[in-house]
Amino acid sequence: MNDLLAARSQMAMSLAFHIVFAAIGIAMPLLMVIAEWLYLRTREDVYLELARRWAKGTAILFAVGAVSGTVLSFELGLLWPQFMGYAGAIIGMPFSLEGFAFFTEAIFLGIYLYGWKRVAPRAHLAAGAIVALSGALSGIFVVIANAWMNSPVGFQILDGKPVNIDPVAAMLNPMALSQTLHMTLAAYAATGFAVAGIHAYQLRRDRSNLFHRRALAIALTVGGAAALFQPLSGDLSARAVARQQPAKLAALEAQFKTEAGAPLRIGGIPDVERAETRYAIEIPRGLSLLAFHDPNAKVTGLDAFPRDEWPHVPIVHAAFQLMVASGTLMMAVALWGAYGFWRRRALPDGKWFLRALVLAAPAGMIAIEAGWTVTEVGRQPWIIYGIMRTAEAVTPMPGLLVPFLTFTVLYLFLSAVVVWLLFRQVAASPRGVPLASGKEAAQEEEEPEHVAA
Amino acid sequence: MWPLELIAAGAMIVSLTFYALLGGADYGGGVWDLFARGPRALKQRALIEEAIGPVWEANHVWLILVVVILFTGFPVAFAAIATALHIPLTLLLIGIVLRGSAFTFRTYDVKRDERERGWGRIFSIASIITPVLLGITLGGIASGSIRFENGIVPNGFVRPWLAPFPLAVGFFALALFAFLAAVYLTLETRDTLLQEDFRRRAIVAGVVVAALALAVFLLSGSGAPKVRAGLSASAWAVPLHLATAISAIAAFAALWKRAYGLARVCAAAQVTLILWGWALAQFPYIVEPDITIQSAAAPPATLRLLLGALALGALLLFPSFYYLFRVFKGGLASLKDEG
Residues of chain A contacting B305 with CB distance shorter than 8 Å: 93, 167-168
Average pLDDT over residues A381-399: 94
Which residue type sits at B188?
E
Q: Is the pLDDT of residue A257 over 70?
A: yes
Of the pLDDT bands very low, low, confident and very high (cuts 50, 70, 90), residue A205 is: confident
CB B166 within 8 A of CB B133: no
Which residue type sits at A226?
A
Q: Is the pLDDT of residue B103 over 90?
A: yes
Q: Radius of gyration (Cα) for chain B, nearest Å?
A: 20
Mean pLDDT of chain A: 90
Amino acid B331: pLDDT: 56
User: What is the CB neighbour count within 10 angstroms for residue A432?
Assistant: 11
The answer to whether the CB atoms of B101 and A74 lie below 8 A apart is no
Of A74, A107, A403, the CB nearest to B324: A107
The answer to whether the CB atoms of A107 and B58 lie below 8 A apart is yes
Query: Does A450 reach chain B within 8 Å, measured CB to CB?
Result: yes
Please, which residues 65-124 of chain A have a Cβ atom closer than 8 Å to chain B? Answer: 66-71, 73-78, 81-82, 84-90, 92-93, 95-100, 102-104, 106-111, 113-115, 117-119
Q: Which residues contact B326 (CB under 8 A, 6 or more apart)?
A: none
Question: What sign results for the dihedral spanned by CA atoms A248, A251, A252, A254?
Answer: positive
pLDDT in tens, B35-64: 998 899 999 999 999 999 999 999 999 999
Closest Cα in chain A to B99:
A67
Of the pLDDT bands very low, low, confident and very high (cuts 50, 70, 90), residue B111 is: low
DSSP one-letter string for B172-218: HHHHHHHHHHHHHHTTS---HHHHHHHHHHHHHHHHHHHHHHHHHHH
CB B55 within 8 A of CB B26: yes
The answer to whether the CB atoms of B108 and A421 lie below 8 A apart is yes
Of the pLDDT bands very low, low, confident and very high (cuts 50, 70, 90), residue B151 is: confident
Amino acid A442: pLDDT: 41
Average pLDDT over residues A290-310: 93
Of the pLDDT bands very low, low, confident and very high (cuts 50, 70, 90), residue B108 is: confident
Amino acid A434: pLDDT: 45
Average pLDDT over residues B71-80: 94
- Alpha-carbon gap: B236 to the closest alpha carbon of chain A (Å): 33
Average pLDDT over residues B288-298: 89
Q: Is the pLDDT of residue B339 over 60?
A: no
In residues, how long is chain A?
A: 453
Q: Which of A33-37, A50-54, A198-202, A345-349 has the lowest mean pLDDT?
A: A345-349
Question: What sign results for the dihedral spanned by CA atoms A177, A179, A185, A187?
Answer: negative
pLDDT in tens, A75-122: 999 999 999 999 999 999 999 999 999 999 999 999 999 999 999 999
Specify the higher pLDDT residue, B338 or A1.
Answer: A1
**B331 three-class SS:** coil
Of A82, A88, A104, the CB nearest to B320: A104
Q: How far apart are CA A240 and CA A150, in angstroms?
A: 10
Average pLDDT over residues A114-135: 94
Please, which residues 230-249 of chain B have a Cβ atom closer than 8 Å to chain A? Answer: none
SS3 track for chain A: CCHHHHHHHHHHHHHHHHHHHHHHHHHHHHHHHHHHHHHHHHCCHHHHHHHHHHHHHHHHHHHHHHHHHHHHHHHHHHHCHHHHHHHHHHHHHHHHHHHHHHHHHHHHHHHHHHCCCCCCHHHHHHHHHHHHHHHHHHHHHHHHHHHHHHCCCCCEEECCEEECCCHHHHHCCCCHHHHHHHHHHHHHHHHHHHHHHHHHHHHCCCCCCHHHHHHHHHHHHHHHHHHHHHHHHHHHHHHHHHHHCHHHHHHHCCCCCCEECCCEEECCEEECCCCEEECCEEECCHHHHHHHCCCCCEECCHHHCCHHHCCCHHHHHHHHHHHHHHHHHHHHHHHHHHHHHHHHCCCCCCHHHHHHHHHHCCHHHHHHHHHHHHHHHCCCCEEECCCEEHHHHCCCCCCCHHHHHHHHHHHHHHHHHHHHHHHHHHHCCCCCCCCCCHHHHHHHHHHHHHHHC
The answer to whether the CB atoms of A453 and B46 lie below 8 A apart is yes
Amino acid A450: pLDDT: 36
Q: How far apart are CA B26 and CA A290, in angstroms?
A: 53
Residues of chain B contacting A398 with CB distance shorter than 8 Å: 157
Q: Is the pLDDT of residue B22 over 50?
A: yes
Of the pLDDT bands very low, low, confident and very high (cuts 50, 70, 90), residue A431 is: low
Residues of chain B contacting A421 with CB distance shorter than 8 Å: 105, 108-109
Residues of chain B contacting A88 with CB distance shorter than 8 Å: 71-72, 74-75, 78-79, 298
Cα–Cα nearest to A44, from A213, A222, A221: A213
Amino acid A427: pLDDT: 67
- Alpha-carbon gap: B206 to the closest alpha carbon of chain A (Å): 26
Please, which residues 231-290 of chain A have a Cβ atom closer than 8 Å to chain B? Answer: none
Residues of chain B contacting A90 with CB distance shorter than 8 Å: 302
Residues of chain B contacting A63 with CB distance shorter than 8 Å: 57, 100-101, 103-104
Residue A415: strand pairing partners: none
Mean pLDDT of chain B: 91
The answer to whether the CB atoms of A103 and B75 lie below 8 A apart is no
- Alpha-carbon gap: A166 to the closest alpha carbon of chain B (Å): 7
Q: How far apart are CA A40 and CA B262, in angstroms?
A: 43
Amino acid B112: pLDDT: 64
The answer to whether the CB atoms of B75 and A109 lie below 8 A apart is no
The answer to whether the CB atoms of B71 and A88 lie below 8 A apart is yes
pLDDT in tens, A11-36: 999 999 999 999 999 999 999 999 99
- Alpha-carbon gap: B251 to the closest alpha carbon of chain A (Å): 27
Q: Choosing among A53, A73, A78, A107, which should be mutated to test the B contact, i.e. which has the most B CBs within 10 A?
A: A107
Residues of chain B contacting A407 with CB distance shorter than 8 Å: 94
Q: Choosing among A53, A60, A70, which should be mutated to test the B contact, i.e. which has the most B CBs within 10 A?
A: A70
CA B9 to chain centre: 17
Residues of chain A contacting B321 with CB distance shorter than 8 Å: 107
Q: How far apart are CA B339 and CA B337, in angstroms?
A: 6
Query: Does B81 reach chain A within 8 Å, measured CB to CB?
Result: yes
The answer to whether the CB atoms of B82 and A78 lie below 8 A apart is yes
Of A85, A96, A395, the CB nearest to B68: A96
Amino acid B18: pLDDT: 96
Average pLDDT over residues A113-133: 94
Of A70, A89, A425, the CB nearest to B302: A89
pTM, to two decimals: 0.92
Closest Cα in chain B to A113:
B54
Q: Is the pLDDT of residue B336 over 50?
A: no
Q: Is the pLDDT of residue B235 over 90?
A: no
Residue A270: strand pairing partners: A277
**B284 three-class SS:** coil
Please, which residues 289-318 of chain B have a Cβ atom closer than 8 Å to chain A? Answer: 298-299, 301-302, 305-306, 309-310, 313, 316-317
Could you report the predicted ipTM of this complex, rounded to two decimals? 0.92
Amino acid A191: pLDDT: 97
Of the pLDDT bands very low, low, confident and very high (cuts 50, 70, 90), residue B236 is: confident
Of the pLDDT bands very low, low, confident and very high (cuts 50, 70, 90), residue B1 is: low
The answer to whether the CB atoms of B108 and A56 lie below 8 A apart is yes
The answer to whether the CB atoms of A63 and B103 lie below 8 A apart is yes
Amino acid B152: pLDDT: 82
